[in-house]
Chains A and B, each alone.
Chain A
Amino acid sequence: MSVVLAEVAGRLGDGRELAVPSLAVAPGERVVLFGPNGAGKSTLLRMLAGRLPAPGAATWEVASSAYLPQRPYMFRGGAGWNLRLGLDGAGARRAEELAAALGVAAVLGRPARSLSGGERQRLALARVLARPESLLLLDEPLAALDARDRATVARVVAAGLRGRSAVVVTHEHDEAAVLGDRVAVMVDGSVRQVGPPAEVFALPADDEVAAVVGVGNLLRGTAAVVEDTLVAVDAGGFVVWGLGSAVAGEAAIALFGAEAATVYAGAHDDAGSARNAWSGTVAELRPAGRLVEVIVDCGARVAALVTPGSLEALALRVGSPVTVAVKATAVRVVRA
C-alpha cells in the first residue's frame, strides 16, 4: 500500500527525458526530491500533482494531494481571504493557527499584493498544510525565506507533515535532512538514487550523484552542548562540533562535506585548530571523479575526499589507522 507509486520513462514535451525507475511513498513517509536546478524535480512533482501528464507511464498511482507550487501566487484581495481559499471552516481555522505559528498572523488584514516574498511563502505554506489531504506535494517550501526564518518555518512544516505523506522538492541539504525520511536524487531528469539522507549523502551511488549531493556526511544525534551558535552533536557517543541553531537535549543533525574533512596517517591527539579530530581506520576507498573518497570508521562512518597523490603519500589502504579532522566552522548543524 503506497500513497505514491510511480514508475515512468519517457520524453517530455520540451524534449527532455524523464526516467523514474521506481518511486514509492508509503503512508506517513516523507520523500525529498533532491537535485540541482533543471534536474526535473519540479516537473516530476507537477506530474504527481496532476498538473502535467506523465509520459509513457508504466505505473502511476498517486493519492489525491495538496500541492504547493514553486512560486505561490497571491490573488487580488486580502491576505486572509487568500489564506482561506479552498479551505472549509475547520481548514480555515487550522490555516490561521499555522499562520500564527509561522509568524504571519499580523499580515492577514493586509492586501495580499502588499506582502513580501517571505510573507507570501509562509501564507501559502499555512494554506497548504491546512488542507485535509493525506499527501502533500511541496515545491521548495523554504524558498524565499531568509536564513533567520528558515529554521522556525522548517519546524512548523515538519510538524505539519507529521503523520502524513509528502514529496518535497529541495536543493538544500539541511531541508532534505530535516524534511525527508528518504531522499531521491535526481540528475538530468532521472532518479538515480533513493535512500535515507545519511546514506545518500555519505554513500552516493555514482560520481554524478556524488557531484550533486556533495555533502558526504550527515550525522543524526542530540545537541549535547550549545554555546551560542557553536553546537556539539552527540551521535551515539560520536561527538561533532559545528555551527548552527539547536536546543540542548533535542535532536539535531550535523552536515559537512567530504571535501572539508582532512585525513592524517596514524592516530593524532592534536589536529591543529580543528575542533573535530577522530581516530579510526580506513573502511573503504572509493573513486570519486579525479579524487578518492576515504571512508573512515571512527565511531561513525566519516567520508573524506583526498587527491590520489595524498592517498599515495599517506600510503592509505583499507585498515590503515588514520585521524580525520574537520573545522567546526565547516560543519552545519540543524534542528531535526
Chain B
Amino acid sequence: MTLALQRLTRHFADLAALDDVSLDIADGEFLALVGPSGSGKTTLLRILAGLDYPDAGTVTQNGQDFLAATARERNVGLVFQHYALFRHLTVRENVAFGLRVRPRRRRPSRSDIRARVDTLLKRVQLGELGDRYPSQLSGGQRQRVALARALAIEPDVLLLDEPFGALDAQVRTALRRWLRELHEELGLTTVFVTHDQEEALELADRLVVMNRGRIEQVGPPHEIYQDPATPFVCEFIGRTNRVPLERHDGLWVTGGWSTPAATAHGRFTHAVAYIRPEHLSLAVPEGQPAWDARLRHIYLAGSVAHLDIHVAAIDQTLEVDVASEDLGRLSLQPGAQLRIAPTAMVAFPLDGSHAAQPIAGERWALRS
C-alpha cells in the first residue's frame, strides 16, 4: 500500500499546524515524523488516522481517496503515548475489541477471536497476563497491549504517537528494538511520531523532519544526520556547534581559521557554520589554519568523552567528542592548549536583512 499526501494544510485558529505538506509513504516502510512540539507531526498522524481532517490537500491510497473513508473504515492501527487502554476491560478483551465491534457478517467466530487474541498476546510476550486489567500492568506491558490491540484488526498501516514517551529509559530501549523486529517480521507499514531525534535515527527507515507545520527534510537517518538540508535540521538532529563566518578576500574567516569561499558566494558577507562535535580535529599541525583553544572540561560518558573547548578568538565554547581511548593518546586534560579545526561542516550564508536569517537554498558543505 502506498499513501500519497499532497499539499496538506491544516489551521487551528491562527496557528498553521500543517502548511503545504506533501509526502509519500511506501509499502512496508518504517517512517518517523520527528520535530519539536507544535511542528505539526501529531496533526499529520491524526489526519492519517481519520481523527482530524485537513483544510486543503489530498491523501490517496493506491490512487483511491483516503480522506473519504471515515476512521472506522480506514483499517489503521493506532497507539497513543498514554496507551488509551479500555480500563474496564481485561487485556484479552482489549485486544479483542476491534474484532468484536465488527458487523456480524464480518465478525470472526468466538473461537476464532479467542485464537487470534491468544496468538497476538504470545506475539507481544503477554501470554499469561490476558485476564489482568490495565491498571495491574507496568507501562511497558500496557504499551504492548495497546500494540496487540492495534494489530488485531490486521491494519494496512500502523500509526504510533510518541509510543515510548511515557516509559523509562531502559524499557524504552528494549521496546524500540522489539518494535523494529516486529515491524520487519510482520511486514508492516509503520508511521510513528516522536520528538526524540535519537529514537527516530535509531528506528526509522526514513525520517521526516518537521518544523512549524512544514517538512524541513525527508531522508534516511544517515543522510539526515550527515547532510542536514536546513539550519533547523542541523540544530534539531544531533548535537552541533554554531559558528559565525565572515567573508574576507575570497575566504570565509572566523578567528584564525579560514576556508576558501566559492565565487557564487561573493554577494554574501556573513554566514553561519554548523559543526558536529565529532568533526573537530584536536591536533592541527602548525602552518595550517586553526583556532587556538583551551580545554575546559572533560565529561567521560563511557566509550565517548565530551569535551568543552573554549576558543578565545571567537569567545565561544565548542563541544567536541572524542573516543575515550584517545584521551590518553592525545594527552588531553583540563587546561591543555590545543589547535583545533573543523574537518567537516555545513554552512549557510546570511541574508542582508537586519535580523539576518540563514538562507537554506545557498547551503554549502565542507568535507576534508
Tell me if chain B binds chain A.
no
Binding site for B on A (CB under 8 A): none
Binding site for A on B (CB under 8 A): none
